[in-house]
Amino acid sequence: MDIAVEVKDLVKVFGNIRAIDGISFNVHSGEIYGLIGPNGAGKTTTLRILATLLQPTSGTAKVFGYNVVRDAENVRKIISYLPEEAGAYNQLTGREYLEFMASFIAKNEEDVKSMVAEAAQISGLGKRLSDKIKTYSKGMKRRLLVARALMIKPKLAILDEPTSGLDVIHAVHVRKIIKEYAQKYKIAVLISSHNMLEVEYLCDRIALINKGKILIEGTPSELKEKYNASNLEEVFASVVSIHG
């Protein structure tokens, strides 16, 4: 199985804060990998480094063999990044936004059309795609952004809290789509989430991260068994209490 993401001894320091403190993990092609942990654990910083937005202080991070610092441009060609607090251009319509985003990846107009059609299906926004984004609710915006991230069928999707701001119905829909896309198109997905239910449903493997360090890694069932827990929340609580 191809290694989609290879992170080795990654460290990121902001001023006098060690946001990431020597983490290592791998994500395989077609795998959904979850980073879970409390606020300030280092999840978003890790995802931003992999999305080539931040540079590591030390250590290496590679995406399908491309170094995120040296080969950043090649990395950007095969990834799709959805930030947690992402927004969209309020003055554009949903369709114009998708076309704008697709045009950087598509080879021709036909590709743009097919990507936008795909996004329309993922988002379920229908006729509302013709309306300006400023008229969208928070949930509609999030669905549009998830659709934008998946419509290009990237080799690696980096999704930071993908269902943040969605109601239960739409959150279920989006999780289903992510899982389908990962299986159907062999997309590697790296997710960060607070929602243990979501992580358990979606992820093939997870890593618990706290204070910039990975405390434990494995499949949800392995971890539950190891800590004799009925769900991942209990696992998380046990791990944090053991590691302080």
Partner 1 sequence: MVRALINIVKKEIKEILRDPRLFLGMILVPLIMFPALGFGMRAAIESSIKQTQTTTIAVLNLDRGEMAEQIFKNPNLIAVLEQNNISIVYLNDHGISSKNEAINYLIRNESISALLVVPENFSECISNQTPATIQVYTVLRSFSFEGAAGSSRVNIAIGIIKQLLANYLIISMDPNADPVFITNPIVPFPVTIYKDKEIRGVPPELITGLMFSQIFMLPLSVMFLLMIAVQFAAISVASEKEQKTLETLLSLPVKRTTILAGKLTGSILIALVGAVGYMAGFGFYMSSIMPAEEFPISMEELAELGLMIPVEGYILLGITVFLSLLACLSMAVVLAAFAEDVRSAQALLSFLFIPMVILGFVAIFMTMGGIGQEFVTVLLFVPFTNPMVAGIQIFNGKYLLVILGIIVISIETIGFIYLAAWFYSSEKVLVARLRFGKKSVERELEVEEITTSE
- For partner 1, the binding residues (CB under 8 A) are 14-15, 17, 19, 39-45, 48, 51-55, 73, 76-77, 79-92, 96, 100-101, 103-105, 132, 145, 148
For the four alpha carbons of 111, 192, 31 and 59, in that order, the dihedral sign comes to: positive
Of how many residues is the chain composed? 244
Of 29 and 74, CB closest to partner 1: 74
Return the number of the residue (51 or 227) whose C-beta is nearest partner 1.
Answer: 51
Write the burial class of residue 234 (CB in 10 Å: 0-12 exposed, 13-18 middle, 19+ buried): middle
Give 25's contacts (C-beta < 8 A, 6+ positions apart). Answer: 5, 7, 33, 207, 214, 217
Q: How far is the CB of 185 from partner 1 (least distance, A)?
A: 18
Helix (H) or strand (E) holding 75: helix 72-78
Show the tokens assigned to 94: 């949903």
- Residue 34 CB, shortest distance to partner 1, in Å, is 14
Nearest residue (CB) to partner 1, 103 versus 227: 103
Closest distance of CB 169 from partner 1, Å: 25
Whole-number Å distance between alpha carbons of 189 and 149: 11
Nearer to partner 1, 15 or 244 (CB): 15
CB of 211 to partner 1, least distance (A): 11
In the complex, the smallest distance separating the C-beta of residue 194 from partner 1, rounded to whole angstroms, is 10
Nearer to partner 1, 187 or 225 (CB): 187
Q: In what order do the strands lie in the sheet with 156-160?
A: 79-82, 156-160, 188-193, 32-36, 205-210, 213-218
